[in-house]
Structure formats: structure tokens, C-alpha cells
Amino acid sequence: MISDVKTSDEGRLQHLPVSVFSMVMGLSGFAIAWQKAHHILGMPDWTWQLIAGFATVLFASLLIVYGCKTTRHFPEVKAEWRHPVRVNFFPTISISLLLLAVVWLELFPEVAFVLMVAGASIHFAFTVTILSSWMYHTHYDIKHANPGWFIPVVGNLFVPIVASHFGLTEIAWFFFSIGIVFWGVLMTIVLYRIFFHDPIPPKLLPTLFILIAPPAVGFIAYSALTPSIDTAGRILYYAALFTTLLLGSNFTRFIKAGFFISSWAYSFPLAAMTIATFLMGKRTGYPFFENLAATLLAILSLVILVLIWKTASAVRRKAICVPE
């Protein structure tokens, strides 16, 4: 009996997807959103600190578990790396480091600096390697394109948010340029695939929310690099706002799709939009944006709670980390 349990646990470890790190992204963004609510709306600071602590522990735990998978089931990890869709989720590891750097910047700047250096270095390596595989590919097809392809490229936009606080201006602009320019290129490809080819499979439908993240994070990063709101900043923010409204108007489609680990793709883009709206309110001084940010924070909180409940339920039913 004990042997059967061990075999079952080992089987689940074998099928643990690298996309589980998207949970850390969502929870880290959730913590930052509540951090902004603390500064702007006067919400208690223990809320964001509790969420940030949970996100940090979860990241460390997942890193250990995925490290065990790499050691014991390296062929499966290698297969994920060679998969035309799953490979794009490896950078969720480095983005998690960068988001944790943003989370802890206020309380532990030295720790944030170390996390930023590690996250930026690893993410740059992921960006170069994955883009090289796209350029010299032998197994990619237009049907493989989906919003998850933004992750390796747009993840570079997280670096300026922290780097600017340490006076690393040119490094911040370097990473910002990579993210913004290649976002435009990939946006064209992904929209072409969505408009003119087969619908995205239900399991990947939540990744459509990733369309919100590039302009929202781009606005946050751009605001860290510029002293005041300007035309470029407004274009980024309102592009993110329109995309949020567009996807939100189709919320019933996402509900009907059901729950998958990929459903955590709802969380971080909504968090990024919430943070961007808090920032927009601070920059413009318009109460409308503060009210909108509070509304988005309430929606984000509900989404996060549902995702946690659904994930816990799936773990109890052993419905995740199974062969596809």
C-alpha cells in the first residue's frame, strides 16, 4: 500500500507542469495590488504582507518540487522545454523572482536587489534562448501561437520597475525596449492566429487574459522611467483598459471553459491592470481611477479566492499533475 502511494506521488511529480509558477505570479501581483491599496486607500498593511509571505513560501516550495522533478524525471522536463507551447512558461520562474523583488522592495531593498539581479539574468537567458528557437525552429506552426508566447518577451518589462529604484537607468531602458518592441511584433502574430485560424483550445482559453499584461505592465514600467504621465503612458494604459473591457464582456465564455491550472492566467493580468489603475489615479489625481482601481481590486480578490479554492479542490481529487 505504501509502495502504491509512493508510486502515485512520483507519477504526479513526473507530470507537474512548469506553468504552476503562474500561481506565484498571480499571488505576487495580488500582494502588490494590496500594497498599492494600502498606500492610496489606506488599507491595512498586514494584508499585502500576508499575501506576499504566502507567495514567497509557495515560490520556494515549487522551486524545490520542480527541482526534484528535474533530478528524477529529466526527460519530462526536457520534453516541456522542447514543447512549442509549454516552453514559454519556463520564464514564469524568472518573472516570479522579479515580482517578488517588487513586492519586497519597500521593506527589504537589499533582498529585492538580489532577487532583481537573479531574475533579470535568468530571464534574459530565457529570452535569448527561446527567441533563438523561434528563429531557427523546425517544429513550430501558427496553431502553436497563443498569448502565452508573450511571457518570454514581455517579462523583460518587469526589470525596469525595480532597476529604476536603484539608479540603473540604462539597464532599465534596455529591458523596457526589448519588451515593448517585441510585444508589438508578437501581438500581430497572436491576433492573426486568433482571428484567422482554429479557436484556441478550452484549456488555453484563460491565456487570452495575458493580452492585458503587456500594455498594463508596460505602463507601470514606463511610469517608473518617466516623471509624469504623457501621451505614450496614456496609450499603454488605455490599451490595457480596452483589452480588459473586451475580455470582461465575454466573461461567460471563460466561466464555461472550466478550471485548469492555466486558469491562473486570469490572476496576474487582472492584478497588473489593478496596479496600473492605482498608478494612473496617483499620476492624474482623478478620483475616477481610484474608484475603478478599488473595483478591480475587489474583482481580483474574488478571482484569486476562487482560483485557490478550485486548485485545492483539484489537488484533493488528484485532478492535476496527470498525463494529458
pLDDT at 4 over 50: no
- pLDDT given at position 175: 97
CA angle 118, 120, 125 (to 5 degrees): 100
Residue 281, φ and ψ in degrees, nearest 5:
-65, -40
Residue 291 is assigned to a structural domain of this protein: yes
Q: What is the CATH number of the domain that holds 176?
A: 1.50.10.150
Q: Structural domain tally of the chain?
A: 1
In a domain, 321, yes or no: no
pLDDT in tens, 7-43: 456 678 888 899 999 999 999 999 999 999 999 999 9
Report yes or no on 323 lying in a domain.
Answer: no
Expressed as residue numbers, the domain containing 99 is: 2-316
Residue 3 has pLDDT above 60, yes or no: no
11 located within any domain: yes
Residues 6+ apart with CB under 8 A from 306: none
Q: Does the residue 306 lie in any domain?
A: yes
What's the pLDDT tens digit per position in 210-220? 999 999 999 99
Contacts 24+ apart (CB under 8 A), 250-254: 253/205, 254/205, 254/206, 254/208
Q: What confidence tier does 256 reach under pLDDT thresholds 50, 70, 90?
A: confident
pLDDT at position 244 is 97
Is residue 146 in a domain?
A: yes
Percent of the chain with pLDDT over 90: 75
**What is residue 258's DSSP assignment?**
-
Report the range out of 20-34, 141-155, 187-201 with the highest average pLDDT.
Answer: 20-34
> pTM (2 decimals)?
0.93
* CA angle at 292 for the pair 289 and 297, rounded to the nearest 5°: 125
